[in-house]
Chains A and B, each alone.
Chain A
């Protein structure tokens, strides 16, 4: 029993890293841009669907991943336009795109499920070769974090950070906040689609409902990551490592409760409850555990 559990951990780590990459996408919108973007439930599947259908039709896996990335970028771009150009609140804009993507994903695959067996196709990673998968994922994670660390240190990246921090100040400093929001949403969903493409390869199929509740898992990873790392360092690269670690921890816990005999049907509910609780903590701290401070004056 214990050995079984131990044997399942590498697989959990691989899945955790894939969802950790997805959670980095969530981090970009939720933490950096200060927007809760629900597009991700659809765009993770779009990434998986595009990758699966292209590879099964004989396209090289690298090219398939690139096109999956572009599809995700487009999905985020649509949400961005709904939000800025059409003035729809971000949450609703994400839900609308997510719904559109449900149909689009079905059309991409032509059916609800496409098998992508690693025995038949030349894939980057697969469940049956966990060592290779872990190495590929570790390299992907490092590359992604280095790239994002660089990007958010550029003038353009700093303007996205400023937008999420203070819209008013950003406009006063000449930042086109509509543009930076669209850019952030686009980038985020590109990363999420990439994780979907990795997930489809790893699990050996793409499924139209593979993204259901993805935002909750992403948020869980972000929250766990913050809890683990935020005391150690404020550095963005370290925080992103924390987010991926959050994904891995999430899957370790997930694997453990399954081994303890928990009904798998209840897992989504438990994830949601845990996320709700952790989202409530900062609010509770502010409302119930801080002493009243007098006046509106600033010293």
Chain B
């Protein structure tokens, strides 16, 4: 479904700040894969997601979705294949617009936006039901500005938006990192439910190794712009945090360098 072939990306090339973020990245996802992604600081996790989303073009390599080469497509054109949730809860929603308006904007992802009214009457009931499924009491606040919601509520709404119209691929970029532990657990629970219900192919970056083990059917670990560990199925279920640290040391010849990931 998703194929990343030999993708390379260097930021600030030719300067002292040159940083090779992706160094010949290869990854193939099967339909319905729910892959958790871990790695140290600067390993290239977010860079990989941004390469898929088209925030910039890679220096080399190709990215395919269902066999279609999306590498030359601008960000807004690829959006029809993708659902995205970001680390910063402010980033995924329009704060001055209503909850229902945000959902309606997401519903039209990948369609031509014309002079039809921006919310159809029939959509209202659908959104109310979806919001009720979050169990956050948002179904009674359809016309509230998103800016009035808490970070966790905003991430939950962004998740709904990202999953509308069943995107081919869901990209979650540390979407619980800015939340307190309780809210984070709640948003992860919602994530699991949405991914399972719609059988979405998903890439989820997390800084938390336990979360990475507990969620999804496959786990990859990145280091210096490449994938160094790739475990799935039964083998993944049996993993422990110690196993992961060992695997990382073996693959990279270094200690894992993300304190936050080990401690949390």
Binding site for B on A (CB under 8 A): 151, 153-159, 161-162, 165-166, 168-177, 296-299
Contacts and interface: CB of A to CB of B under 8 A. Distances in A.
A226 to B, nearest CB: 13
Cβ-closest 3 pairs across A and B: A298-B151, A174-B79, A158-B118
A165 B95 CA distance: 7
Contacts of A173: 79, 105-106, 108-109, 161
A175 B151 CA distance: 24
B53 A172 contact: yes
Contacts of B91: 166, 168-169
B114 interface: yes
**How many B residues are at the interface, by size bracket?**
35 or more
Given A171-B79, A172-B53, A173-B161, A156 B115 contact: yes
B118 A166 contact: no
A172 B173 CA distance: 13
A161 B97 contact: yes
A299 B91 CA distance: 16
Interface of B: 53, 74-77, 79-80, 82, 84, 86, 89-97, 101, 104-106, 108-111, 113-118, 150-152, 154, 161, 178-180, 183
Contact of B118 (A153, A169, A174): A153
Of the candidates A159, A165, A170, the one having the most CB atoms from chain B within 10 angstroms of its own CB is A165
B79 A299 contact: no
Contacts of B92: 168-169, 172
20 contacts: A154-B114, A154-B115, A155-B113, A156-B114, A158-B113, A158-B118, A162-B94, A165-B94, A165-B96, A165-B97, A171-B76, A173-B79, A173-B105, A174-B77, A174-B80, A174-B108, A176-B74, A297-B151, A297-B180, A298-B154
B84 A172 contact: yes
Contacts of B95: 165-166
A282 B94 CA distance: 20
Given A155-B118, A158-B104, A165-B96, A174 B76 contact: yes
Contacts of A171: 75-76, 79
Nearest to A297: B180
A298 B179 contact: yes
Given A175-B76, A176-B74, A298-B152, 12 more contacts: A155-B113, A155-B115, A155-B118, A156-B115, A158-B104, A166-B90, A169-B92, A172-B82, A173-B161, A297-B179, A298-B180, A299-B152
Contact of B93 (A159, A166, A174): A166
A165 B84 CA distance: 17
A117 to B, nearest CB: 41
B84 A161 contact: no
Contacts of B79: 171-174
Contacts of A151: 115
Contacts of B76: 170-171, 174-177
